[in-house]
Amino acid sequence: MLQFLQNFFTEASFIPHGHCYLWQPSLVWLNIVSDSVIALVYYSIPAILIYFAHKRKDFPFKWILVLFGAFIISCGTTHIMDIWTLWHPTYWVSSFIKVITAIVSAYTAVALLPIIPQALALPSPSQLEAANFQLKLTLQELSSTQTQLIQTEKMSSLGQLVAGIAHEINNPINFIYGNTSLVDEYTENLLDVIALYQKNYPLPVAEIQALTEKIDLDFIQDDLPKILSSMKMGADRIRNIVLSLRNFSRLDEAEIKKVDIHEGIDSTLVILQNRLQGKGNYPEIHVIKEYGNLPKVECYPRQLNQVFLNILNNAIDALEESVVSQRSLGGSHATSFNGGNPHKQLVNSEGVSGKTTDNAQLTIDKLQICIRTEVVDSNQVMIRIADNGYGMTEAVKQKIFEPFFTTKPVGSGTGLGLAISYQIVSKHGGLLNCISAPLQGTEFLIQIPTQLKLS
- Report the C-alpha dihedral over residues 328, 330, 335, 336, rounded to 10 degrees: -110
Q: Which fold has domain 253-455?
A: Heat Shock Protein 90 (3.30.565)
pLDDT per residue as tens, the chain (455 positions) = 565 556 666 666 778 888 888 888 888 899 899 989 999 998 998 888 888 888 887 777 777 888 888 889 999 899 898 888 888 888 888 888 889 989 988 888 888 888 778 777 777 788 888 888 888 888 877 776 766 666 666 656 666 666 666 667 777 777 787 788 888 888 889 888 988 888 888 888 888 888 888 888 888 888 888 888 888 888 877 777 777 666 666 655 567 889 999 988 998 898 888 888 877 778 889 999 999 999 999 988 888 888 998 899 889 988 888 887 777 665 444 333 333 333 333 444 444 555 444 444 555 568 999 999 999 988 899 999 999 988 888 888 888 888 777 777 665 666 677 888 888 898 888 999 999 988 888 999 999 999 887 65
Q: What is the pLDDT of residue 278?
A: 75
Sequence spans of domains, the chain: 2-119, 253-455
Exposed/middle/buried for residue 308 (C-beta within 10 Å: 0-12, 13-18, 19+): buried
Rounded to an integer, what is the distance from CA 183 to the centroid of its chain? 55
Query: With helix as H, strand as E and coil as C, how does the chain read?
Result: CHHHHHHHHCCCCCCCHHHHHCCCHHHHHHHHHHHHHHHHHHHHHHHHHHHHHHHCCCCCCHHHHHHHHHHHHHHHHHHHHHHHCCCCCCHHHHHHHHHHHHHHHHHHHHHHHHHHHHHHHCCCHHHHHHHHHHHHHHHHHHHHHHHHHHHHHHHHHHHHHHHHHHHHHHHHHHHHHHHHHHHHHHHHHHHHHHHHHHHHCCCCCHHHHHHHHHHCHHHHHHHHHHHHHHHHHHHHHHHHHHHHHHHHHCCCCCCCEEECHHHHHHHHHHHCHHHHCCECCECCEEEEEECCCCCCEEECHHHHHHHHHHHHHHHHHHHHHHHHHHHHCCCCCCCCCCCCCCEEEEECCCCCEEEEECCCCEECCCEEEEEEEEEEECCEEEEEEEECCCCCCHHHHCCCCCCCCCCCCCCCCCCCHHHHHHHHHHHCCCEEEEEECCCCCEEEEEEEECCCCCC
Q: Which of 260, 338, 344 is nearest to 297 (CA)?
A: 260
| Dist CA 321 CA 317 (whole Å) | 6
The residues, ordered by sequence, that sit 6+ positions from 78 with a Cβ below 8 Å of its Cβ are: 94, 97, 98, 101
Q: What is the pLDDT of residue 253?
A: 58
Q: Are strands 367-377 and 285-290 parallel, antiparallel or unpaired?
A: parallel
